[in-house]
Amino acid sequence: MVVRTQKYTRKRARETDRISLTVNGQVCTMEVGTAPHQIDPAHTLAYTLRETLGLTGTKVSCDHGACGSCTILIDGKAALSCMTLTVECEGKRITTIEGLGDPGTGALDPLQQAFVDHTAFQCGFCTPGMIMSAKALLGENPSPTEEEVKEGLSGNFCRCISHYHVVKAVLAASCKGR
Amino acid sequence: MRSFAHINARTIDEAIALLRRYRGRAVLNAGGTDLLSTLKGEYLSRYPEVVINLKTIPDLDYIREDDGLLRIGALARLSDIVRSPLIISNCRVLADAARSVASPQIRNAATIGGNLCQDVRCWYYRYPRHIGGAIQCARKGSGPCLAVKGDNRYHAIMNGKRCFAVCPSDTAVALAVLDACIHVSGPEGDRTIAVTDFFGPLTNALRSNEIVREIEVPKVSGLSGQTFLKFTVREPIDFAIVSVASVITREEGVCTDVRIALGAVAPGPVRAGKAEEMLKGNRIDEEIAARAAEQALAGARPLSKNAYKIEIARTLVKRAILK
């Protein structure tokens, strides 16, 4: 049993108050506590990604699990980073929009390229979430039908109504599109 | 979110012991999709000091068959229930209800135990603290239910008492029609509660320091028709205005077993007992379906702005019978 409070952080050996998660292939070990450089138990994964790790590609819009902007992958499955506590991600494999392209060559993921080719965005704020949801969908179902794409992206909202282009882009990036 | 201490529970007994130790100052977290918005809104009278993580309890997310019963661990995720071949082949109405919940991302995190124990969606109850202060009401222990005189378009049309918020759980409606029961564990041992008895106007049937451990679902004959219908304002990420679940078995056109439950009309799922009796032993046609739907809503007592829910509920019941 690990009790994480400010009191305990000071008293206990540092090892017990660390959390380790893999973000885009890189292992991140962070201290848990309430000091400014530490992960507060109340920090959401979205907050940690953006404010602690500087991965601002993940966007936060509603912060209540209703819009899908903050979608990331946890162990390959689409998840809302604003509704996930960082301290509960011990040992998890996190993928954000920054983790999709090839860091060596700078080449985009085929799904990202399909979004570019189909201009599947207007203001672009919802796009990272859209792409991560689509990534999870294609991971589970490499050749979805149009209906399945719509269902898979039903948790992502776009106020610019880019949905039609998004569906086309995802279909193009799926096996069927190739 | 304001800070809290965070504890990973390793067993159910440990979680119960922690609840006892913190005496109402601790909350349980499974999927977190409901709890985190509760904490962010800070609308409860008391902000918890401790969050107990249940996800670290091993082997509580099972879905298995056992002697004619399906047993679902409280930590089984809604996405697992949607896909489970056992559930699809034995009680499809539950898979359909789970699929109707929120969005793919939320279904990947939300658990069946959490779906049953989630707090109500009443807009007075959930009014956030940082926009002018949380609102006190009967459910929070002081004052009247503000929905009675206020805007009650999404509130209860039957069985409301002191609090008129409706049960937001979709899986509860399917489980009610499947005659499922909930196994809970607490400091005084284990007990079993029927799903229809689990919900009440002010709170659910859990006593202090109790935890939902397992959902037990009797298998349904493969020949019966199972339907889950949910009326919402928008399709994904929305709670039901009215939902209806039904299990209907027919032999040579004659109804031998009928079960109908209504959701989002009352503090818990409501079985339409009289409508079920009316249909049993009869051939189903438009006329009897309409009469049964009328009967199912006979006990409705709408508030000032929600009589429209009666008409929607009648239509859904009729559709569920004729499907």
- Residue-wise pLDDT for B238-266, tens only, equals 999 999 999 999 998 899 999 999 999 99
* DSSP per-residue string spanning B175-209: HHHTT-EEEEEETTEEEEEEHHHHB-SSSBSPPTT
**Tokens read off for B98:** 């789970």
pLDDT of amino acid A10: 45
Phi, psi of B70 (to 5 degrees): -100, 135
CA distance A75 to B67: 34
Q: Determine contact: A78 vs chain B, CB below 8 A.
A: yes
Q: Structural domains in chain B? A: 63-117+170-218 (3.30.465.10), 225-322 (3.30.390.50)
Q: Determine contact: B42 vs chain A, CB below 8 A.
A: no
Q: Which residue of B has its CA nearest to A87?
A: B6
Residues 72-131 of B with CB under 8 A from A: 79, 102-106, 108-109
Q: Give me the CATH topology for the region A110-177.
A: DNA polymerase; domain 1 (1.10.150)
Measured N-to-C along each axis, helices B170-177 and B92-99 cross at an angle, to the nearest 10 degrees, of 170
Q: Do A2 and B235 touch (CB under 8 A)?
A: no
Please list the residue range(s) of chain A that carry CATH number 3.10.20.30.
Answer: 6-99
Backbone Cα Rg of chain B: 20
**Tokens read off for A172:** 């193009």
Q: Which CATH number fits domain A6-99: 3.90.850.10, 3.10.20.30, 3.50.50.60, 3.40.50.2000?
A: 3.10.20.30
**Tokens read off for B117:** 């124990």
Give how far A115 is from chain B: nearest CA, Å: 21
Give how far A123 is from chain B: nearest CA, Å: 23
Indicate if the alpha-carbon torsion angle B147, B149, B151, B152 is positive or negative: positive
Is the confidence at residue B25, as pLDDT, over 90? yes
CA distance A32 to A5: 9
Among B3, B8, B51, beta carbon nearest to A2:
B8
Q: Do A155 and B235 touch (CB under 8 A)?
A: no
SS3 state at A161: coil
Q: How many CB pairs under 8 A join A and B?
A: 97
> What mean pLDDT value characterizes chain B?
96
Give how far B35 is from chain A: nearest CA, Å: 9
Q: Do A83 and B235 touch (CB under 8 A)?
A: no
Please list the residue range(s) of chain A that carry CATH number 1.10.150.120.
Answer: 110-177
CA distance A15 to A32: 10
Q: Do B32 and A133 touch (CB under 8 A)?
A: no
Indicate if the alpha-carbon torsion angle B236, B30, B89, A133 is positive or negative: positive
pLDDT in tens, chain A (178 residues): 556 655 544 444 444 589 999 999 999 999 999 998 899 999 999 999 999 999 999 999 999 999 999 999 999 999 999 999 999 999 999 999 999 999 889 899 999 999 999 999 999 999 999 999 999 999 999 999 999 999 999 999 999 999 999 999 999 999 766 5
